[in-house]
Structure 1
Amino acid sequence: MGRKVGCNDDVAGIETGSDCVCDVVRAIADAQDNVVEMECDVSCARSIQDLVAPVSGNGLDTVPFILYDKKGKPFKGFGAEISDGQFECFSSFIFRVNEVDDEDCCAVLELLVFDNDDEACGDPCEQLDNEQVEDLERTGICITVDLNCFCAITCLPAVSVF
């Protein structure tokens, strides 16, 4: 029998405490702040590394990620903007961290969507499949979440959304 990995264990080379999702999202925020004012092929540690190295301008500015609730279900965020006097609703499984509060582990996350696709499908893979990386864009719609409510995080490869 193998050892069961819990949230208090080291995740992809990132030292974590009791709030593993919070720690990873905080590391992403710190890395993004280093490139934008304001050992797997794909992992959170690799995406963070790609974002900051080489710092000399690889054009990457964001580590998009997907969060999972304590039941293992992907978290889908919703928000709306006003366009021509009407609400336009957006949903997404893909987020960019804009800010993390160190004291209470709350974070401001921005919904990311693909160009001309303002509604996420039934799961993250449906939203991602066959989409062009350069079509991933910021919505400007932010939600505030308690990172302690999540049990897992999947980081996508670092991209440019600015």
Structure 2
Amino acid sequence: MGCGKKDDVLGTTNCVCEVVRAIKDIQDAAEDICECPTNCFQEPLGALVAPARTQRADTRVFVLKTKDGSPFHAFFRGDDCACVSIFFRVEEIFDNCCATLRVIRPVKNGGETVDLTEDSGIDLSAVCKVDGFAATNDCITVDLTCFCAIQCIADVDLGICED
């Protein structure tokens, strides 16, 4: 298991890795909606918003947590903030448990970036101001075995599958 632990007695692999793989599968199925909205094999991406799929979604936004429980963060390019986010979208999984994650920009008031930083790191109270998300062009490659927890936040449409 993650956080430096070996496989458990049942021989399971890192749980964070398995969850990120599942999110990637769900996103891939939802992206098929760009081509065929009646694909019978689509997972219910959008279920985090409502039980019935009432809106289109192409991304399951999530937060990864480190061994001490703090949210993992990454930088993104922008000119209106400190440009740090704790929110991600899985883009690719490779080499067993590595992943490329897109950094997701936290927004409020229809597009204004929420500054999540404070002097000592991430300002957790600022997370409460986030009421939306926007895609960035910034990605990070991570070893998923380094994380101890994953928390899914929302299913949103970031226009990822639009040309």
- Give TM-score, length-normalised by structure 2: 0.66
Structure-2 residue corresponding to 1:3 = none
Q: For 1:40-55, list aligned pairs within 5 A.
A: 50=47
Post-superposition shift, 1:130?
A: 3.1
CA distance in 1 between partners of 2:30 and 2:123 (Å) = 27
CA offset at residue 117 of structure 1?
A: 1.4
Aligned to 2:113: 117
Which consecutive residues of structure 2, in runs of 5 or more, have no partner in the other structure? Answer: 35-43
- Higher percent of residues as helix: 1
Following superposition of structure 1 onto structure 2, how do residues 69-108 of structure 1 map, counting pairs within 5 Å? 69-80=66-77, 90-101=83-94, 103-108=95-100
Say what the alpha-carbon RMSD is for the aligned residues. 3.2
* Between 89-98 and 22-31, the greater mean CA deviation after superposition: 89-98
Where structure 1 has 5 or more consecutive residues not aligned to the other structure, the ranges are 1-5, 10-15, 39-46
Aligned to 1:128: 127
List structure 1 segments (4+ residues) > 2 angstroms apart after TM superposition.
6-9, 118-128, 130-133
CA distance in 1, matches of 2:155, 2:123: 17
Q: Identity across aligned pairs (percent)?
A: 34
Helix, strand or coil: the match of 2:89?
strand
TM-score by length of structure 1 reads 0.67
